[in-house]
Amino acid sequence: MAEMMWAGRSSQGVDSRVNAFNSSIAFDGRMYKQDIQGSIAHATMLGEQGIISMSDSLELIGGLKEILADIESGKLQFDMTAEDIHMFIEAELTKRLGDVGKRLHTSRSRNDQVALDIRLYLRDAIGELRELVVSLVRVLCNIADENTETIMPGYTHLQRAQPITFGHHMMAYAQMLLRDIERFDDTLRRMNVSPLGSCALAGTTYHINRDRTAELLGMSAPMVNSLDGVSDRDFCIELASAISICMMHLSRFSEEIIMWCSWEFKFIELSDRFSTGSSIMPQKKNPDVTELIRGKTARVIGDNMKGLPLAYNKDMQEDKEAIFDAVDNLKLCLTTFIPMLETMTLYKDNMRRAAAKGFINATDCADYLVKKGMPFRTAYKITGGLVAHCIELGTTLEELPLADYQKQSELFTEDVYDAISLDTCVKERKSFGGPAPESVKTQIALTRKRLEELCNG
Ligand code: ARG
């Protein structure tokens, strides 16, 4: 049985099973830096306000800095029987400073302390995730730049639909990831406010300065309501949602990579360094990384929170494992995904061969007739007939003799072959956002410009 620091009214120690069940240090220990950062700001403000003496304030700050250095150098290990990281650090401080250490928790509660720590921790995590997503978008722009003329089939219903380029396809993901960055920024804006000074739930009678602690912590303002300050974890849910969306983008990309690597497609090959083999089938080269990303996406999307009365409830301790798991996994996925993309080989001939089959120029054939004055629906019908005729003969629209075309409509002349060539089909799709090389170059330029704004703005 252990005597707890919060043993106020209780006369008996806590059963060791409850202690183990209650303890969160195994997963909140990772917030040690942010916990100390928050305590330093709190101790500074207490001293400045004259709530504790200036010399106690300075001693507390010095002690906290030493604890941080000792944890970082490995000299100080967490006591895994401690209830949580907050108790561990406060107990350690008191061990080192005696009664002065006991003054730190004046006009503070673990409720506002933990609400602050998670915000600070996730603020740092967003910074790291954002940087990784930015570098992924940069890689995509580079791949796209080299492949504005690499023709491949675009698909709907996983059926060959219309010709696009590999560069165009990469830029679609770049746009999704740009929005992910914006979602992280938006989440951060609402997250970066200070709950410190909310105390247990009802503020305090001490003359604290909440603006000052917010300022010291680089937060935009103190939170306006003390109950709200300790009660809500909406910022965790927002971040979990932003991470889930980003993971969903990575998982769709991964799914396509898995298909493109198969012998059925063979559009790309991943580097041996980013593939795995089979223990029984010597010929195998498996895209495990992308499959794991797909799997981890389901895991991240699954995490969430339920309804609780105000203010603090112990259920809220459960927020950390879920959001930390989401952060860790997105970081892990991006760290592996980026170099995997950078080292993949493209089989452009296979892409082009795939684009040449499946009548993906049928829309262009119909458009050819429309440009010569025929209504679109009529042109659509005639082209459908031509495709059926080609399938019967085992040929393509490119190879079908002009006489067969002219049997369907006298508007067809020799220039139809140029109009339906894959190169023309792509080159002419120069509408804003389309796959034509010049359109994709515009997309790349706009994306790079937006990245600049997001990184420097
Ligand atoms: N370990 C707790 C958590 O993460 C800290 C807050 C404890 N507060 C309390 N009143 N029991 O939520």
pLDDT tens column, 98-149: 999 999 999 999 999 999 999 999 999 999 999 999 999 999 999 999 999 9
Q: 20 or 177: which carries more pLDDT confidence?
A: 177
Over the stretch 379-424, which tens digit does the pLDDT of each residue have?
999 999 999 999 999 999 999 999 999 999 999 999 999 999 999 9
Joined together, the tokens standing for residue 57 give 């304030």
Pocket-testing residue among 88, 105, 114, ligand 1, by greatest number of atoms within 8 A of Cβ:
114
Give pLDDT, residue 319: 79
In what helix (H) or strand (E) does residue 302 lie, and over which residues does it extend? helix 288-302
Query: What distance in angstroms lies between residue 111's CA and the mean position of ligand 1's atoms?
Result: 6
- The ligand 1 atom nearest the CA atom of 320: 4
Which residue, by CA, sits nearest to atom 12 of ligand 1? 317
In the numeric block, the tokens 């459908």 are attached to 384
- The ligand 1 atom nearest the CA atom of 24: 1
Question: 420 vs 160, 369, 376, CA distance in Å?
Answer: 15, 11, 16
Which residue, by CA, sits nearest to atom 2 of ligand 1? 317
- The ligand 1 atom nearest the CA atom of 316: 12
Give pLDDT, residue 4: 77
Instruction: Name every protein residue with a CB atom under 6 angstroms from any ligand 1 atom.
Output: 24, 28, 84, 110-111, 114, 312, 314, 316-317
Give pLDDT, residue 311: 61
Catalytic residues: 157, 278
The chain-wide mean pLDDT, for the chain, equals 93
Over the stretch 166-182, which tens digit does the pLDDT of each residue have?
999 999 999 999 999 99
DSSP symbols for 129-192: HHHHHHHHHHHHHHHHHHTTT-EEEEEETTEEEEEEEHHHHHHHHHHHHHHHHHHHHHHHHHH-
Over the stretch 310-341, which tens digit does the pLDDT of each residue have?
667 777 777 788 889 999 999 999 999 999 99
Exposure string for 175-206, b = 16+ CB within 10 A, e = fewer: bbbbebbebbeebbeebbbbbbbbbebebbee
Query: What distance in angstroms lies between residue 47's CA and the mean position of ligand 1's atoms?
Result: 25
Joined together, the tokens standing for residue 341 give 């993309």
Give pLDDT, residue 294: 85
**Residue 343 above 50 pLDDT?**
yes
Q: 153 or 283: which carries more pLDDT confidence?
A: 153
Query: What distance in angstroms lies between residue 316's CA and the mean position of ligand 1's atoms?
Result: 8
Give the whole-number percent of the chain exceeding pLDDT 90.
82
Pocket-testing residue among 314, 316, 319, 324, ligand 1, by greatest number of atoms within 8 A of Cβ:
314
Pocket-testing residue among 84, 109, 120, 320, ligand 1, by greatest number of atoms within 8 A of Cβ:
84
